[in-house]
Structure 1
Amino acid sequence: MRYLFLSIIIIPAADIGILLFSGKTIGVLPTLFFILLTGVLGVYLAKKEGLQTIRKAREQLRYGQIPGESVLDGVCILIGATLLITPGFITDILGFLMLFPPTRKRFKRLIKNSFRKWIYKGNIKIIK
């Protein structure tokens, strides 16, 4: 939780600094254009990856499987899309990394490990 709290403070502050620097370096209009471009691209990728994940989950359910990996993919896609909608270069980079399947695997592993730790510590109860 400490890391989450720190990242909520540090990342937006760094993004604001980078946006100000970018505005001074390349100009305000190119910076705004880049922010809008990454937002539109992010929405497109999130929709594409999200629909693919939903299809995969439906297929797994059709065969009687629990769609655990698809749920993790969906969580990563949701977080990635949210980061891409948020203006800033750091959040855009993180958002794109969470949307692309090869790099998404690392985030899924991180989420799984976090859930395991929370369950082990008793922060999450499993009810059968």
Structure 2
Amino acid sequence: MSEKMPWLFLLFVVVPVVELWLLIRIGQVIHVGPTLGLIILTGVIGAALARREGVRAMTKIQERIASGAVPTDEMIEGMMIFAAAVLLVTPGVITDALGFALLIAPIRRVFRKMLQAQFSHRVAMRSGRTTTIHFGGAEFFGGSTSQAADNDDQFIDVTYKDVTPEADDSPDSKNP
């Protein structure tokens, strides 16, 4: 719990104070009216861009699911788009800059890879072992071997096809 405290302090105290200071300084330079207009404009533009990118992400997620793949990368990017929307409707220069950055796909990819690497590292550190897990051909995260595997149980990965006859007239095969 103590390792989270500096981040919470930074997030809820330092960032708002710096944002407020920046907005005051901008207001002194371009005056209050244009500053308020800028805050509202970035919120409106940001919300529209976030909505557009969110629809794109949702379309990609649906396409991946329809093709039988797990949309891990798309889900992470969708969460980053949501974070961008939250940052953009939050008044402030720093939050707006970070929010707009998260709406740019190449920047999102960099952040996604960083998040996946950090998650893999944390899982590996907690488990003492690392296993790369692949979903739909895409590497998602490092995990640990299961407790059952530590007990020398055997696991078999199987791909199967249901070959149940469709026109089976036996009473046991009919669905209620």
Structures share fold, TM-score greater than 0.5: yes
Shift of 1:2: 5.5
Partner of 2:68: helix, strand, or coil?
Answer: coil
Which residue of structure 2 lines up, in the alignment, with residue 34 of structure 1?
38
Which residue of structure 2 lines up, in the alignment, with residue 68 of structure 1?
72
Alignment CA distance shift 1:106-1:10 (3 Å):
farther
CA distance in 2, matches of 1:114, 1:101: 20
Alignment gaps of 5+ in structure 2: 128-142, 147-176
Shift of 1:119: 1.4
Match 1:13 to one of 17, 25, 38: 17
Match 1:108 to one of 102, 107, 112: 112
Shift of 1:3: 5.8
CA distance in 2, matches of 1:107, 1:62: 26
Match 1:4 to one of 7, 18, 23: 7
CA distance in 1, matches of 2:63, 2:7: 34
Shift of 1:118: 2.5
Which residue of structure 2 lines up, in the alignment, with residue 58 of structure 1?
62
Structure with the larger RCO, 1 or 2 (CA within 8 Å, 6+ apart): 1
CA distance in 2, matches of 1:40, 1:3: 32
Shift of 1:122: 2.8
CA distance in 2, matches of 1:6, 1:39: 25
Over residues 12-55 of structure 1, what are the superposed CA-to-partner deviations in whole Å (9 max), with x where a residue is unaligned? 21111100101111100100000000000110011000010000
TM-score (norm 2): 0.66
Alignment CA distance shift 1:32-1:44 (3 Å):
same
Alignment CA distance shift 1:102-1:3 (3 Å):
farther
Moved more, 7-16 or 57-66: 7-16
Moved over 6 A (4+): none
Moved more, 102-111 or 50-59: 102-111
CA distance in 2, matches of 1:105, 1:17: 31
Partner of 1:92: helix, strand, or coil?
Answer: helix
Q: Does 1:23 align with 2:37?
A: no
Query: Which structure has more helix as a fraction of its residues?
Result: 1
Alignment gaps of 5+ in structure 1: none
TM-score (norm 1): 0.89
Query: Which structure has more strand as a fraction of its residues?
Result: 2
Q: CA RMSD in A?
A: 2.1
